[in-house]
């Protein structure tokens, strides 16, 4: 099992989760983070750190989120320290279906 980053992260990209990850399994894209499922140890310490509830156990969400995590973790650089969220993150906090609108 692993944890995955879901649609809620898109266009917000809060990085509070990164600082608590003991194995540095996050990768950063322009509009969101992903978790590399091959590196995640399923400890769950990142889950309560996400202010938009974007991190879920993979068995609770569609398998596509784990697939995206694996795909993008191969393309995007690793992030090991938190950064400021996107400047307009609050505007997108409650929006749904963001991945399809802004990533693909």
For 4-29, the pLDDT digits (tens) are 999 999 999 999 999 999 999 999 99
How many other C-beta atoms lie within 10 A of the C-beta of residue 82?
A: 15
The overall longest dimension of the chain from CA atoms, in Å, is 33
pLDDT digits (tens, 9 = 90+) for 39-75: 999 999 999 999 999 999 999 999 999 999 999 999 9
Question: Is 0.75 surpassed by the pTM of this model?
Answer: yes
* Cα–Cα dist 64/58, whole Å: 9
Give the domains, in start order, of the chain with CATH numbers.
3-85 (3.30.70.20)
Nearest alpha carbon to residue 99 among 74, 73, 68, 75: 68
pLDDT at residue 2, as a whole number? 92
What sign does the CA torsion over 46, 48, 54, 56 have? Answer: positive
């Amino acid at each position: 099992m692993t944890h995955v980053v879901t649609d809620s992260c898109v266009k917000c990209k809060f990085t509070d989760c990164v600082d608590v990850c003991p194995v540095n399994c996050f990768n950063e894209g322009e509009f969101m983070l992903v978790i590399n499922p091959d590196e995640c140890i399923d400890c769950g310490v990142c889950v309560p750190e996400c202010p938009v509830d974007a991190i879920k156990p993979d068995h609770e969400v569609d398998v596509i989120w784990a697939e995206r995590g694996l795909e993008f973790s191969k393309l995007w650089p690793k992030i090991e320290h938190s950064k400021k969220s996107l400047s307009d993150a609050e505007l997108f906090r409650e929006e749904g279906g963001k991945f399809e609108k802004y990533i693909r």
